Chains A and B, each alone.
Chain A
Amino acid sequence: MTTFVEEKPTQELEAFKGVKKVPHEEYYTSGHRTCQGCESAQIMKLMAKAAGPRTIVLGATGCMYVANTSYYSTPWGVPWMHTQLGSAGSSALGAAAALRVQMRKGVMKDEPINVIAFCGDGGGADMGLNAISATLTHPDYNLLILLYDNESYGNTDIQISGTSPWGVNTSFSTPGKVKRIMHHRWKKNVAALMVAGHPTCKYVGTISTSYPLQAMNNIRKALSIGGPTFIHCLNPCPKGWDFDPVLSFQLGELAVDTGLWPLYEVENGKLKLYGKTEKIANGKFKRLPVREYLLKQGRFAHFEEEDIQFFQSKVDEMWEKWLIPGVIPLQKDVNDNPPAL
């Protein structure tokens, strides 16, 4: 059966079998000026390492542009280009289209080249959502869009984004004399949004920098599977979240252990939970209270007991009421009846 899609081969990037098998070469090195404990910079390094040298990287405006790439001191060992805040999707599409057509016309050497566009939560979940969504519907182009999520506009003094957690203190949601909670929107469920909305997209996943080998291997899988793919990575941010940089790694783990940040991949339509998330789902690990995660961060220091309880109740809902726990926020019909046809 014809699919009407002219598939182009990708690089076949096998999973790294253990941390000692990871190559020494770095394609994101010195030259950036990100904060101590910056997990967003960490995912840049892992992403470049996972992708290897035959890669083009396009970076939307955000911390990983402004703090990352100063004139004359670029950290990038692969070709990199700045793209506009809302253009992660369109930049990857443009680059992939240019490579494809030039290879077809015989004016560029025919070889699989990785195209990765990264964006922050502002660029991915807010302004750039349109373009990413459109790009994920183009089956002809091999590319990866990686959203590094530090849950705020971290480069402009920490402001609310579409992925900022409920109740958080940012410079646009500072607690005041009358209102303690200025931000009362729940974090966007971005990866699941991409899964549900783009049925032909072959790979969507969530990762965490606290599990670096797994993160790299998922990136390699997304680059190898073909077509447009999407990965959402949670990146603790010492500056925006207000914690000691030494805790970055631990906070990434706590986000998973509390059930707040589910780790999963959807490969050709099949959902697979992994790591602690899988254990939570099958009852082998009891979720830790979110209190342990929240109280380690200054951005929640204004929380009172009822706020913590509300937060906990929303996370419980994710695991106890959602049709696919932790992933898809549909709830079953109260009488457990299938919808009328």
Chain B
Amino acid sequence: MATLTLPVEETKKVVQEQEALITGAEAIAIACKLANVDVVTAYPIRPYDTVMQYMSQLVADGELDCEFIVAEGEHSQFEIVKHASICGARVFCGSSGVGWMYAMEALTVTPALRVPMVAMVGNRALDDPGAFGVEHNDALAVRDLGWLLTWVDSAQEALDTALIAYRVAEDRRMFVPLALSCDGAFLTHSQALVKIPAAEQVNKFLPRYNRGALLLHPDNVISVAPQANEDWVMEIRRQNYAVTERACDVIREVYADFEKTFGRKYGNPFFEEYMTADADVVLLGMGTMSTPVKVAIRKMREEGKKVGFVRLRWFRPFAGPEIAKCLERFKAIGVIDRDFSFGSPNLSGVVATELRSAMYTGATTRPPVLDFICGLGGREVTVPDVEEITKSVFEAAEGKAQPLTQWIGLRG
């Protein structure tokens, strides 16, 4: 199964690389160790918190030298690392679901402070009612604030993307926080064989974080974030906007360097294409739903249905023109949203709404973009779900009117 979900193509054999059977959360903890992070803050909430259990063990075993601070809530958790980063430290923290929302004030102020914090989000449904399982609304809540947002679908990709995350966030052209999203349970707690790069390679790929003239230190007497009001706030917002203008180029550069250093190739950094070459219609989604979707696609291919899959890796930046260019050749597109956006245009999920916007300006054709809300609250996206979705997409491709938003896999 591991090879099924890995979009990774080995381009060269790397010495000293080790292989281990680990979970997605453990893979990220190992990446943090390799990145030699300085300050880590933890607070318990499932499912992200397993990463902090591994971090704690790494510190106890002397494998990682960092300040490991257990905070008294998520707000403090994110505020502690925010200030540590401004004082020059490489930082790591994370959360899930309502814990992420409890930190929201801290999350809001971090991009404008130009803090390259890397946070893991173990995606979890927002209470109430209680649910531990995956939903993407937690991480998506910061999509307008200047955070970079990426979704991974395997433990290997989690480890690799964590290294990439530090390199991208700490690039002086960026200096913004980055949330690395992992589907709760399906990725955080599922084991797979992961190739672990050698520390020397990581050191080569990831230079020490250098805050330069923005460092808060007695040798650099600066005042950070004074009251700016209408005089300057707009110009400061424009600087964050400029980061998003540069983001795609920086990410491309970093992936190219990653491939050169570690010999693992991800192709297009922004999205993965699966069996799209001859496809008539495609499905599109983020995260670990890729596994059942790919299984279903292989099954449907045997039945002669030409369907492919596009898995978005980066939601922020949203590589709009590239995605539109990729999708304009298909007869219909089915977006699987593991999230909701109540009251949005067409009452669709977040990904479908964003994608329609990207297609409107970036595509030369107008294929129907259908939305399917599926797999909320940790419910599985099943192979029959995907088949049902695909049936509707094919009907849209044939010109039969379909609802723009459908809920799939509901009981009763």
Contacts and interface: CB of A to CB of B under 8 A. Distances in A.
Interface string B215-234: 01110111111111101100
B322 interface: no
Q: Is the interface of B mostly helix, strand, loop or mixed?
A: mixed
B89 A97 contact: yes
B224 A97 contact: no
Interface stretch (B66-74, B266-274, B346-354): B66-74
A71 B88 CA distance: 23
B105 interface: yes
Interface string B44-68: 0000000000000000000001110
Q: Is the interface of A mostly helix, strand, loop or mixed?
A: mixed
Given A81-B86, A108-B88, A101 B216 contact: no
Interface stretch (B76-84, B173-181, B246-254, B304-312): B76-84
B75 interface: yes
Nearest to B80: A94
Contact of B72 (A53, A79, A81, A131): A131
Contacts, number: 143
A80 B86 CA distance: 11
Given A58-B83, A94-B81, A104-B65, A81 B109 contact: no
Contact of B39 (A82, A97, A134): A97
B216 A56 contact: yes
Contact of A81 (B76, B80, B224): B224
A213 B274 CA distance: 73
B226 A71 contact: yes
Interface residues on B, range: 35 or more
A224 interface: no
A230 interface: no
Contacts of A58: 83
A90 interface: yes
A89 B224 CA distance: 18
Contact of A79 (B222, B225, B227): B222
A95 B83 contact: yes
Given A97-B84, A105-B38, A131-B79, A53 B218 contact: yes
A278 to B, nearest CB: 35
Interface residues of A, number: 46
Interface in A56-113: 56, 58, 65-66, 69-72, 74, 76-84, 86-87, 89-95, 97-102, 104-105, 107-108, 113
A182 to B, nearest CB: 29
Contact of A82 (B65, B88, B208, B226): B226
8 contacts: A53-B218, A84-B79, A84-B109, A87-B106, A91-B80, A93-B80, A98-B87, A131-B76
Interface of B: 38-39, 65-67, 69, 71-73, 75-77, 79-89, 105-106, 109, 208, 216-218, 220-229, 231-232
In the A-B complex, the 8 residue pairs with the smallest Cβ-Cβ separation, listed nearest first, are A94-B83, A98-B87, A74-B223, A134-B72, A98-B89, A90-B79, A98-B84, A81-B224
